Amino acid sequence: MSTAALSVFIRSVGVHAPERKLTNDDLSKIVDTNDEWIKTRSGISERRIAGPNENPSDMGAKAAAHALQNAGLNPADIDLLIVATMTPDVPFPSTACLLQAKLGLRRDIPAFDVSAACSGFVFALQVGTDMLRSGRYRRALVVGAEKLSNVIDWQDRTTCVLFGDGAGAAVIEATETPGVGILGNLLGSDGVNAELIHCVAGGSAKPATAQTMADREHCLRMNGKEVFKLAVRVMSESCQRVLAQCGVSSDEVAWFIPHQANYRILEAVASQLNVGLDRFPSNLDRYGNTSAASIPLALEEAWRNGKIKHGDLVLLVAFGSGLTWGATLLRWHEPRR
């Protein structure tokens, strides 16, 4: 394939959500909270919780198998695997390598993780796109898979009500058809704000000890108010910048698929962009914030429900711990149409 003008498009998407549902009423039995507070402040009604043997590599493998099935492809057709996760099965090897083996992908392809927290899927999609555009690989699986229930402090009502588990995957493919698929993107980070959402212990800087366990330092900690303000700003700016980069106006975008963190954040971003909230599909009510899995879960749902159609402009936008942010504008392409 000539690399002069390769386009990269999302050929299919797939998902996996654990069966167990945890409702707001269930949570009110664990911490001092209630359904009304959670719904009003976040838009979340319930979230999924993975079982003890259901890890990100397992959920990711199921989502990837679903995406392959939707594309009519086999594991052998995949040349590259990138997994975005902030809750890897183990510190090493990568969740991608574990998933590669579970899914039976070819035993010689590159498989690696991307660590950009809730922006992970958008980061991984861009890395995959650029690798495909190089002409060295034809098809990649980009997966977001998270088991946040194992890094949540179930005694902290300000965070434990927000997150859930799940996985989503996309098959991306290079084509010589011009002007389709990913049209533009931007990624950004600001490590000065690293402590706004972070985990203190469990890495090489502060390995696990009985004391770190007792101090709950292996759990996610977050300054919700600050994150909220920054999220609205960086998501709105990222959309505006990627639209300007591509010479597209927000009116031309059929669907905005934002990271699903909080319904009020989506309302504020839609308002900043002067776009109706009806163009921001959301599944927050049923899944909560699933970090790197949230965009592919929302994308798959909008596609499966027939919202996203061939030729539609779709804008993916995310922010997360790091801080990190990113946006991708794409023209949805279904080659057999």
Give the integer Cα–Cα distance in Å for 171 and 141. Answer: 5
Read off the amino acid at residue 310.
H
Q: Which residues are at the interface with ligand UT7 (CB under 6 A)? A: 33, 37-38, 41-42, 118, 157-158, 161, 197, 222, 224-225, 227-228, 231, 261-262, 289, 320
Question: In the complex with ligand UT7, which residue's Cβ is closer, 220 or 330?
Answer: 220
Give the residues across from 144 on adjacent strands: 84, 168
Shorter beta-carbon distance to ligand UT7: residue 132 or 257: 257
Residue 102 or 286 with smaller CB distance to ligand UT7: 286
* Nearest residue (CB) to ligand UT7, 112 versus 228: 228
The shares of helix, strand and coil residues in the chain, as percent rounded to the nearest 5, are 40, 25, 35
**Neighbouring C-alpha atoms within 13 Å toward the C-beta of 100:** 20
User: 11: exposed, middle or buried (C-beta count within 10 Å: 0-12, 13-18, 19+)?
Assistant: buried
In the complex, the smallest distance separating the C-beta of residue 47 from ligand UT7, rounded to whole angstroms, is 13
Q: For residue 64, give the amino acid letter.
A: A
SS3 169: strand
Q: Which of 87, 84, 78 is nearest to 110 (CA)?
A: 78
Tell me which residue has its CB nearest to ligand UT7.
224
Beta strands in the chain (DSSP E): 7-16, 20-23, 46-49, 80-84, 111-114, 139-147, 165-175, 181-189, 197-198, 221-222, 255-258, 313-320, 324-331
Closest separation in Å from C-beta 100 to ligand UT7:
27
CB of 162 to ligand UT7, least distance (A): 6
Indicate the residue among 181 and 326 with the shorter CB distance to ligand UT7.
326
Shortest Å distance, C-beta 313 to ligand UT7: 25
Active site residues: 118, 259, 289
What is the closest distance, in whole angstroms, from the C-beta atom of residue 260 to ligand UT7 in the complex?
Answer: 9
Report the alpha-carbon distance of residue 146 to residue 57 in Å, rounded.
9
List the Cα angle 259/84/217 in 5-degree steps.
85
